A and B are shown apart, each in its own frame.
Chain A
Amino acid sequence: QKEVEQNSGPLSVPEGAIASLNCTYSDRGSQSFFWYRQYSGKSPELIMFIYSNGDKEDGRFTAQLNKASQYVSLLIRDSQPSDSATYLCAVSSEYGNKLVFGAGTILRVKS
């Protein structure tokens, strides 16, 4: 079983819709959770992090964490074609010092 699992996609949503990206992890000791965006041929860039159960909002992005279910998600509201990318979920049991990445979910936003 992989430590961090994501649906590889692609997830296709129309422009303006809400995109919902999901991630599950196996290590119950995980303490911090990150979402990175990676455009094709580019390197990952951090877009959100969350440490506590519940929701965290930043502009059009909302991260949701449920430690009991070992589940973290990323919602993108008002999706734009420029959001089309691979979204990587990363989990750490060392306050971010050692990240374990999922394989990523490909998101396609169609105009």
Chain B
Amino acid sequence: EAGVVQSPRYKIIEKKQPVAFWCNPISGHNTLYWYLQNLGQGPELLIRYENEEAVDDSQLPKDRFSAERLKGVDSTLKIQPAELGDSAVYLCASSQNPGEQFFGPGTRLTVL
């Protein structure tokens, strides 16, 4: 069974530039999560989808971050414009059963 796929794995951009991350969850997993993880910290939830619906986006900085999950499968997380403080690892996870989340390899973002 293929795991959660994320791309790109690494991204370096200048501040104020836009950036987008893509995630393909495990087949059959209706729940998709986007997390942010800073060095030395645990993952922090940005947004959770149940199929196409964003059911928890309370931690998503909506002034610069946006996300979508068209057709309830793949998802894209976008930052526009990026700030220096956005440098982190962005993790996508999916689950079929609550709590049993499977994480993708993450995208390491560096904002210069």
Residues of A within 8 A of B (CB): 4, 8, 32, 34, 42-46, 49, 88, 90, 92, 94-104
Contact = CB atoms under 8 A, between A and B. Distances in A.
The 8 closest A-B pairs by CB, nearest first: A96-B99, A101-B42, A96-B98, A43-B103, A97-B98, A95-B98, A88-B42, A103-B41
A70 B54 CA distance: 30
B98 A101 contact: no
Query: What DSSP secondary structure best describes chain B's contact surface?
Result: loop
20 contacts: A34-B99, A43-B91, A43-B105, A44-B91, A90-B42, A90-B99, A92-B98, A95-B99, A96-B98, A96-B99, A96-B101, A97-B98, A98-B48, A98-B56, A99-B45, A99-B101, A102-B42, A103-B41, A103-B42, A104-B41
Interface in B10-39: 31
A4 B44 CA distance: 12
Nearest to A90: B42
Nearest to B103: A43
Interface in B87-110: 91, 95, 97-106
Interface of B: 31, 40-45, 48, 56, 91, 95, 97-106
Contacts of B102: 45-46
A37 to B, nearest CB: 11
B98 to A, nearest CB: 3
Given A32-B99, A49-B99, A98-B48, 12 more contacts: A43-B104, A43-B105, A46-B99, A46-B100, A88-B43, A92-B98, A95-B99, A96-B95, A96-B101, A97-B98, A99-B43, A104-B41
